[in-house]
Structure 1
């Protein structure tokens, strides 16, 4: 038995002989037996008639997957007689867990016919265990935060259950126990042929093994699983939800430091992860919630993780070198990769990550120092002559106006020119300000958030010590150590200096540190970078200048705000996001029902082409905004608006040429006869006007619509929008007809007459109204239903409806607000995709008409317009204003000259093809449909029943947002992704979207 009270010194090489014996044990191989032997044991000892036998991995046990005639599954374990104590120990532990809630399924030992759970057969030990269903966590390629939390919590609950187990006869010490890690490494490192890996393992040995020697024996001990790697944690998937289903393989169970299980689990789960420390933190937080750990355990956890990773990597190399038996589960490049990575992670960083995850101060000494500095800024000597002022380098900074956010050179040039033009005073780049110096994508590793502040000053400017200190590092980073008060000790760091100071030299407050060096290599003007920390960073290979978004809280806890080092009178403060302030103001002044996208709304500050940029400078692929038809901030449209705004902006009672030219060009895109334009400001106004005219001309009130449609927010169009009137009751004059949905509706994709069949319902509605003495005034429709769930009208749908409408004297209104201007690819206007004979009486348009500038219109025939004239003059103050017309006219030019309608046709289909391919692997996708750049992906929990996956759809949108891709739900059940990107969307954008969706669905939640 290995106790925790006598482990001192066990990490030294003096235990090499014992370690070699234990290594021989794990490499000796498993007992060699025949299938006939296994079948005899199962039949004679357990009364089972096995149908199939399948080999399973194992170090010391011959493990076999058994399926009997009834379909029941088991694991048969055959072990050498020398493992009797271990077998008895494991069996007793499983019996203990069977009587407790372990938090997940674990194997149960099945007694043989004599009641024994460990039986001797022909000099071997045999045990039969129940099969635990599930797939190894190792096979889950992408692990969601929810899954990691569940894994950590399950591990904690299991540890709490095993801790109450009192072993009857503990097994022999095992090779993998942490108490013997030093000896195991000493025996394996000589076999590591890769020099980089050998050096990494050596760094881990030197840095962390002394800590284990010193502290391991003092940690709380208990019986633990001790091999809780990702092959022994099983999970099950239900739709997009993956959770722990069980834990297997208690072959290494032993009394050990209680934190051992978590260390083993983390070192296994971190392999291959994009952000391994984040994985460790997530597991630790969840484990700690189920089985609280002490600070001493948390402080030693990262060293345990690093040592375990090094031991597995070195042992794997030793096994490979000797071509001997070894567990194939460890044979992965990710094993060596994690060891190399952790060798370069300072111990303070690893400890801070797990401490912070559990709600403890990441680095208490740094927190104490930051508090002292914040309270003593008045006594600080400014490093250069002021006054100081903030220079905004975040995405909202004025210096970036006019720069192309897609081009790093453009952004850096804008920042450089702005800094040089600053004055009077000294510009300061703020602490914590996400620098918008390059396009930034969401995801692991992304970010450019400084962990210090930059004081921009000309080369040669003298720099003084803000506080008295001693030079602790005199390299590229000048490091001063300060001890201004009892219990307060920290460092200040200065980069960008030329100096001649030496280590150990004392510098008084206000003493010269050096001078600002020449221009920095990054293209920005000269500056001195100032940071502070209590961590002894001189031993670090590199001091981080900035942190990625995902680790920002951790790094800011280690390198807190140094702004007080500018002195008490400076006008600079650390950067803070505007989101909270903006949301608070919205809540005060906007209606409670005013929506925002996403549970954590994005504060946007810029956009260009197919990307948004938020206040953190993060880029988001825009797949939902059908307003900016030609892409955000299109230079030609911006220039057209600015030019016209500088010349003239008035109302249509004056005559200006751009209005006439635009009306001419706009009506030229429509069928002959549709040549009278009523300019308004929004699609809602356009639909409202069309309804008013139809009712005036027909002297009727009833309107037939398609159910689930949306036509606007005014009183008239709300009354014909089911998504609106359902909140207050359908008006008696509104008559919805079935959505022509070939996925969910009565007539499906396999019905070639679906369009005509759905049209018959509309014609029947006309007939019923006429028979009741109230024939309809109009039929109002969208050429592709947005609110209805991105539903594509079946071929042959509109033509018979138009014929029936004409027979009843009803007018037809094509609502093109969402789909017009070439978005559907096949034609410039949506109704044109239904055939040349489909010519509506009214065409309404808006949204994309001005690429974001408020422009809208309703177009009809001269005959209808004249018939409406007796109703009085039509006039809209802002409708058709010169700026709106100039932008609208230029948009038509851009769409034509840049081939955007054709791009919508071919790239839109390419996008749907990519998404349809995903449906072959992800059962959540029930249907992919659309035309051009107006597509929908419908999610269902069951493809047979087509149960809407509403909750899952919203989760998918949230997860896509976290990956920098914007899309949102639509449809009556909110289970359809609405894809309406700018027409400048490329195949590369489509690939990016499909890959992100694939990742989200693969990861689950």
Structure 2
């Protein structure tokens, strides 16, 4: 069934949208509401409308409506719309739509006299929600929900039957040619006019040919961003309703999706991403034919152009019209769409909906794979791949943030491999593009290569691998295009960039024939880039050499793998990700309980300062890893460890200066008396040893801890870590006391005595146990609770506990594994932030101690150490080895030389101040807390009840990761972001983190 033919002249249809809306005074409207509907209007507010006078009505009871007064010529359409709304009211579409309110006579449509004409009048129920157009940043989930809702709506409207559908109108696609012809001349902006002309000339012939053959259905036909209403539920935004069925009529079924996309794509950084997201969600809800999907992008471009030029015409003629279509974003979209090749737009839709990006792609790929043996390598010489990806050893020693250094390293490696021919691989995400914040917008680096590069000397002859005809030279940024038609039904092109003296257009060239020579090189040594194109280059202004990772699969459908052109004997294969093999190895050899960050794990290959880099060259801001205290791969630490490894590495039974020098420097940071160091390898071992010594010295077994704390993984410390023993039962010797959480606990931020009150619970536990004849051996605490929820100990908390412990013979253990080494800014050690009277008997440390090199220690007094000596010799094979001591010593030097403790104090507070600013605008944030560079952001569903937003927190972390920022949940309910970046974290890093978090919270999911 074809698209209905026109039954009115374009100018007549144009008059409908420019004739203006009826203008009835408010008093008249109140009279209509009272007499026809029995309503007493408490307030009236004018709404936008192209052909109707629309008024928001609130009656005396608070009920809301829309009163619509239309022109006389619209009665036929109104009767149709009213019947359609009645039909939709019987469907379960998951969204709200307006319903007609009958007048006092029971009629859904009435009329009133005005100046000798009868104006149709309707009263519709009000649909609450925010117009999608007013939602500045839209998540992929919201866009998908919009597409799905549109698909369900079309399925419902398509099932509607009416004997007298309305006449075709101005905005129908079959009339686009007349609209463009009548309006383009009114466009004053030369660039916009040129873009509209380009779209007209490119796509109108295609619409004339293809549109009549598409399936027809009744559609909404004005499904724009102003007529889709959304609601917010916590962090989620979803479609709440659809309004304004004034343009509904039978036409091409795909029209609704085209109208929707052309509106929603406005003002977005990546309109094709938006189009693809809408299309696949719509297609899943209401499957479309391949012919419809193929015509979607041209329809979107044409619709966008007609909207923009119509707005220009209305402005030029000073006529009425909907001002919402006159936005700069509408014009910008037309300019953008005119520059996108038709095949690229079509590929985005096809790929999203599960079709090959180009219809010819699979056949081309199959033929190349089957005929590689007949191909002649484009250049003579021994071919071998050169690894230019982020994991390549060629970049070791180079700063990943230094673009020039990376290129220099790559160039040096390429030249080193001569006289052979190094080959840059297809699909390789090269580590040569500037690292930018990841996302679907324009800042995502285009570093995944769509061709192969053959690095040979300038002047090297380049040959065609297959017989072909030179189709063009110097087109779309490509030096030469060869057309190949090896068998019937297989047609493709090979593209060559980096040539000089190319063959001439029209030349027929046999396999192995010369087509040019390699031109002198640029940033990299001379090379020729070879690509395969499944589509012609008509209308292309530039062929991409590389594309963003998020778009790679679609682009590879247009530009298949050219590696077979190297011939069957070559040793080159396209780049493939290694994460699948790595994950399989973990599943095979690691325990099932071994955790990984994120649902879609990252394959990390290198890091520097506050940045990680994955195998695809993507950069991630590290706000998570408190192990790397002075930043990843600090050059001074790398040099120190390498030098010491080359000089001496043994165990502490031998004497070496670095051990004593480091012990002296380390204990100098602690209060007097804490001067005996037990070197071990992990924080868990350090805590284990402190507990063992406490129990031996006191001849007691019981230990008092803070609830929700974490102290390690050995048997002993697992028994005093609630996050561990909750899985197998609390030992009788472990006694948790209330988490001193001033956000959730019994004593809040508003209680100046909160510290003393929480402390009293600990002292009461001491006394209760003593009364039971089992006085505790030790009190073990973190100076800031990490696993317990990034909880800052209240002022005045530890001092009374320490005084009581000293009186009762309870030894105190400060677990500084996570928060020590200047991280809290105020002091070098966390316990020192509680005042000078807080001096533990044991201090345990690890993690940041070696900046990632495995080292840890427990420090105590000589008196305690000697009392423990009768148990026998203490020795840890690797604890305190020369490399560990050299690294630890240099880390202390770096912290001092670079002023990192002060940086933690100042920038840490700046970060929390910015986060507190977000909390003022985002109710999901319940609390922001922390000290120095150890902060927490707690998310709640309701600030009054403080119900944890656990699922939302995980989603936020995943979104942050997708945008290139790493952080992860913590806390008993996993609803707290744990922020513990390297101490080199800058204000700019803090801004990047908070800006990204702000975007995600604003956008929703």
- Do Structure 1 and Structure 2 share a fold, with TM-score over 0.5? yes
1:774 aligned residue:
774
1:263-321, CA deviations, whole angstroms, 9 ceiling, x for partnerless residues? 00011111111111111111111111111111111111111000001111111122222
Determine the structure 2 residue equivalent to 1:314: 309
Aligned partners of 1:102 and 1:227: how far apart in 2?
18
Which residue does the alignment assign to 1:898?
898
SS at match of 1:573: coil
**418-427 or 464-473, larger mean C-alpha shift:** 418-427
Does 1:20 pair with 2:11?
yes
Question: Are the aligned partners of 2:603 and 2:614 in contact in 1 as well (CA < 8 Å)?
Answer: yes
Distance 2:955 2:929 in 1: 21
Quote the residue 1:884 is aligned against: 884
Which structure 1 residue ranges, 5 or more long, are not aligned? none
Change in Cα spacing, 1:56 to 1:5, as seen in structure 2 (3 Å) is: closer
Give how far 1:683 is off: 0.5
**Displacement after TM superposition at 1:96 (Å):** 1.6
Query: In the aligned structure 2, how far is the partner of 1:68 from the partner of 1:780?
Result: 65
Contact 2:365/2:560 (8 A) holds in 1: yes
Q: Distance in 2 between matches of 1:275 and 1:819?
A: 42
Q: Which runs of 5 or more structure 2 residues have no equivalent in the other structure?
A: none
1:301 and 2:296 equivalent? yes
| Partner SS state of residue 416, structure 1 | helix
Match of 2:794 in 1: 794
Which residue number in structure 1 is paired with residue 917 of structure 2?
917
Check whether the contact 1:365–1:488 (CA below 8 A) recurs between aligned residues: yes
Verify the 8 A CA contact 2:3 2:251 in the aligned structure 1. no
- In structure 2, the partner of 1:505 is 507
Is the contact made by 2:608 and 2:633 (CA closer than 8 Å) also made in structure 1? yes
| 3-state SS, counterpart of residue 600 of structure 1 | coil
Which residue does the alignment assign to 1:990?
990
Other-structure match for 1:209? 204
Of 323, 333, 351, the residue aligned with 1:338 is: 333
Do structure 1's residue 167 and structure 2's residue 169 form an aligned pair?
A: no
Q: Deviations over 1:756-775 (max 9, x none)?
A: 00000000000000000010
| CA positional deviation for 1:499 | 2.5
- Whole-Å separation in 1 of the counterparts to 2:3 and 2:547: 41
Give, in angstroms, the shift of residue 538 of structure 1: 4.6
Measure how far apart 1:125 and its partner are: 1.5
What is the aligned partner in structure 1 of residue 725 from structure 2? 725
Match of 1:543, SS?
Answer: coil
Stretch of structure 1 that moved more, 537-546 or 396-405: 537-546
Matched, 1:230 2:221: no
Structure 2 residue 647 is matched with structure 1 residue 651:
no
Q: Distance in 2 between matches of 1:272 and 1:1003?
A: 15
Name the CA distance, whole Å, in 1 between partners of 2:991 and 2:436.
18
From 344, 349, 371, the equivalent of 1:349 is 344
User: Stretches of 4+ moved more than 4 A in 1?
Assistant: none
Match of 1:197 in 2: 192
Does the CA-based 8 Å contact 1:621-1:964 persist in structure 2? yes
Partner of 2:483: 481
Q: Which residue of structure 2 lines up, in the alignment, with residue 121 of structure 1?
A: 112
Q: After the TM superposition, which residues 858-873 of structure 1 pair with which residues of structure 2 at under 5 Å, given as runs?
A: 858-873=858-873
Q: CA deviation at 1:500?
A: 3.9
Structure 1 match to 2:908: 908
Aligned to 1:442: 438
Structure 1 equivalent of residue 810 of structure 2: 810
Corresponding position of 2:542? 542
Deviations 1:429-448 (A, max 9, x none): 00000010132431123231
* SS of structure 1 residue aligned to 2:928: strand
- 161-170 or 970-979, which deviates more: 161-170
Q: Give the alignment of 1:574-585 within 5 angstroms.
A: 574-585=574-585
Are 1:460 and 2:459 an aligned pair? Answer: yes
Match of 1:829 in 2: 829
In the alignment, the residues of structure 2 paired with residue 790 and residue 1002 of structure 1 have an alpha-carbon distance, to the nearest angstrom, of 24
- 2:366 alignment partner in structure 1: 371
Distance 2:612 2:295 in 1: 43
Aligned partner of residue 420 in structure 1, secondary structure? helix
Q: Which residue of 2 aligns with 1:469?
A: 468
Corresponding residue of 1:390: 385
2-structure distance, mates of 1:439, 1:613: 9
Following superposition of structure 1 onto structure 2, how do residues 34-183 of structure 1 map, counting pairs within 5 Å? 34-122=25-113, 123-183=118-178
Pairs within 5 Å for 1:237-256: 237-256=232-251
Distance 2:342 2:435 in 1: 32
Distance in 1 of aligned mates of 2:550 and 2:124: 43
**Secondary structure in structure 2 of the residue aligned to 1:537:** coil
For residues 173 and 680 of structure 1, the distance between their equivalents in structure 2, rounded to whole angstroms, comes to 82
**C-alpha separation in 2, matches of 1:250 and 1:950:** 40
1:5 shift after superposition: 4.9
Contact 1:930 1:936 in 2 (8 A): yes
Partners of 1:836 and 1:441 lie apart in 2 by 44
| Alignment partner, residue 323 of structure 1 | 318
Q: CA deviation at 1:423?
A: 4.4
**1:74–1:129 Cα contact (<8 Å) kept:** yes
Q: Which whole-Å CA distance do the structure 2 matches of 1:711 and 1:812 have between them?
A: 14
- Contact preservation (8 Å) 2:414, 2:525: yes
Equivalent-residue separation in structure 2 for 1:74 and 1:45 (angstroms): 14
Structure 2 residue corresponding to 1:257, chosen from 252, 255, 264: 252
Counterparts of 2:731 and 2:54 in 1: how far apart (Å)?
71
- Map of 1:607 onto structure 2: 607
Q: Structure 2 matches for 1:454-853, cutoff 5 A?
A: 454-475=453-474, 476-520=478-522, 523-853=523-853
Residue 136 of structure 1 and its aligned partner are, at CA, apart by 0.6
* Residue in structure 1 matching 2:412, options 395, 417, 442: 417
Displacement of 1:168 after TM fit?
A: 3.0
Kindly state the Cα deviation for residue 323 of structure 1 after the two structures are TM-superposed: 3.0
Moved more, 565-574 or 145-154: 145-154
**Tell me, what secondary structure is at the counterpart of 1:159?**
helix
CA–CA separation in structure 1 for the residues paired with 2:502 and 2:810: 90
Q: Distance in 2 between matches of 1:170 and 1:622?
A: 60
Q: TM-score, normalised by structure 1?
A: 0.98
Once residues 544 and 281 of structure 1 are traced to their aligned partners in structure 2, the CA distance between those partners, rounded to angstroms, is 20
- Is the Cα contact below 8 Å between 2:301 and 2:338 reproduced in 1? yes
**Structure 1 residue 539: Cα displacement:** 3.6
d(CA) in 1 for partners of 2:3 and 2:937? 61
Using the alignment, how far apart are the partners of 1:534 and 1:755 within structure 2?
70
Deviation at residue 477 of structure 1 after TM alignment:
2.3
Q: State the superposition RMSD in angstroms.
A: 1.1
| 1:878-929 deviations in Å (ceiling 9; x for gaps) | 1000100000001101001101000000100000010011011111100000
What is the TM-score of this pair, normalised by structure 2?
0.98
Alignment of 1:942-953 (within 5 A): 942-953=942-953
1:362-395: CA deviation from partner (whole Å, max 9, x where unpaired): 1121221111001110110111113211100000
| CA-CA distance at 1:6 after TM superposition | 5.7
Of residues 396, 407, 410, the one that matches 2:402 is 407
**How far apart in 1 are the matches of 2:135 and 2:398?**
42
1-structure distance, mates of 2:813, 2:299: 71
Q: Deviations over 1:215-240 (max 9, x none)?
A: 11111111110000010011111001
Total equivalences in the alignment: 994
Report if the CA contact (8 A) 1:459-1:516 is conserved.
yes
